[in-house]
Amino acid sequence: MRIVFLTGIWPPDVGGPATHGPDFARFLRDRGHDVVVVTMADAEPTDRPVPVKTVARALPFPLRYPLVALRAAQLGRGADVLYATGTYAAAAAASSLARRPLVVKLVSDPAYERAWRLGLFRGSLEEFQGAGGSKLTALRRLRTLALRRSRRVVVPSRYLAAIAARWGLAEERIEVLVNPAPPPREVEPEPLEPDSFVFVGRLTAQKALGVALAAVAEVPAARLLIVGDGPEREPLEREAARLGLGERVRFLGAVSRDRTLALVAGATASVLSSAWENLPHAAVEALSVGVPVVSTAVGGVPEVVRDGENGLLVPPGDPAALAAAMRRLLDDPPLRARLAAAAGPSVTKLGRDVIYGRLEEIVTGAGR
């Protein structure tokens, strides 16, 4: 089947969608499908399992976004189906222009994230759904209008499925499909200094890494490796310096996926301080290599990270609570060992072939 794959980020970008994109494209290719990707980029793609067409992110948004839609529509006329993990409005426009069905993998509320970036709203994701104001209402309407073009909407958590159902999307079109764990394999842990925690992801406001830095400041024995890049890096580096964290916090930038997994495997735990989430790839990947997760109990995270079983959960926006959880792991080796032993088995049912096989069925089924 011929598939046009739209996504907002692609390696060398970092983040969940940038991990999912090449991995699922490779899976589809190996299953005999003809796949072409349309994405936005600051640099040349570093992973090309299939042809990747880019639109320069440096272009002004009013020009860049229509170009994504037009490029996808041109390719879509010769395809059977469009699949999008971002750029949802552009994907809907391309689907309409090409007269081809669209399947969407929804990883967040795009209206909420845009409102946050524009400084229009600072409440929770749940509060945003009913917040007043003409601008917020317009953003929500545009989001829902784009998503209604989709024949199927795939979400990684029951949490997001329940929210999406409130937007007026037909519930029978929504399917929960958790992000897959990496294929079973031996990961050689990278030697790290004792009592090291690792964060993996894009450095954005959503990840609330200022909370993690404040927590590390309260736990003198703890060290934090930050793997990834993004718009919040410079402010976070300044905050780490202000807190006097010195060598206890290291910003590694974007690294290869193999090294990322090796770094996580060598850590005491993976840490997520997010203000809001759906269900981050980083949590599933950490568990898959046998490392517990210390995370805020937001979004769909508690559907995979179970407090006291394979990780520890704390309230969002609470550095003291996060520090207490980190300290608890460092001070209680039997607890640490028990959580680590349960981590890998907790995600064995989330194998790549099973999850991607079902996603393939959804995408190709829409194109028939």
Is residue 165 domain-shared with residue 254, that is, in the same domain?
no
| Residue 189 within any structural domain of the chain | no
**174 and 267 part of one domain:** no
Name the residue with tokens 């060398």: 12
Tokens for 332? Answer: 């209680």
Q: Are residues 57 and 147 in the same domain?
A: yes
Q: Indicate whether 176 and 216 sit together in one domain.
A: no
How confident is the model at residue 181, as a pLDDT?
A: 84
Q: Is residue 187 part of a domain?
A: no
- My answer on whether 55 and 129 are in the same domain is yes
Is 212 found in the same domain as 299?
Answer: yes
Q: Are residues 208 and 317 in the same domain?
A: yes
pLDDT computed for residue 309 by the predictor: 98
- Helix, strand, or coil (residue 15): coil
Which parts of the chain register pLDDT below 50?
none
In this predicted structure, what is the pLDDT of residue 279? 85
The beta-strand segments (E) located in 216-327 are 223-227, 249-253, 269-272, 293-296, 311-314
- Rounded to two decimals, what is the model's pTM? 0.85
Q: Is residue 191 part of a domain?
A: no
Number of domains in the chain: 2
The answer to whether residue 30 is domain-embedded is yes
Tell whether 190 is covered by a domain: no
- What phi, psi does 268 have (nearest 5°)? -65, -40
What does the pLDDT look like over 95-108, one tens digit per residue? 999 999 999 999 88
Looking at the structure, tell me whether residues 240 and 104 fall in a common domain: no
68, part of any domain: yes
- Same domain for 171 and 210, yes or no, is no
Q: Are residues 275 and 323 in the same domain?
A: yes
Q: Using CA atoms, how far apart are residues 174 and 154, in angstroms rounded to an integer?
A: 6
Residue 344 belongs to domain with CATH number: 3.40.50.2000
Structure tokens at 361: 């069925």
Are 203 and 217 in the same domain?
yes
Tell me the residue range of the domain where 120 lies. 2-180+351-366
Q: Say what the pLDDT of residue 44 is.
A: 94
Q: Within a domain: residue 160?
A: yes
Residues 75 and 160 in one domain: yes
pLDDT digits over 294-353, tens only?
Answer: 999 999 999 999 999 999 999 999 999 999 999 999 999 999 999 999 999 999 888 889
Distance CA 327, CA 21 (A): 36
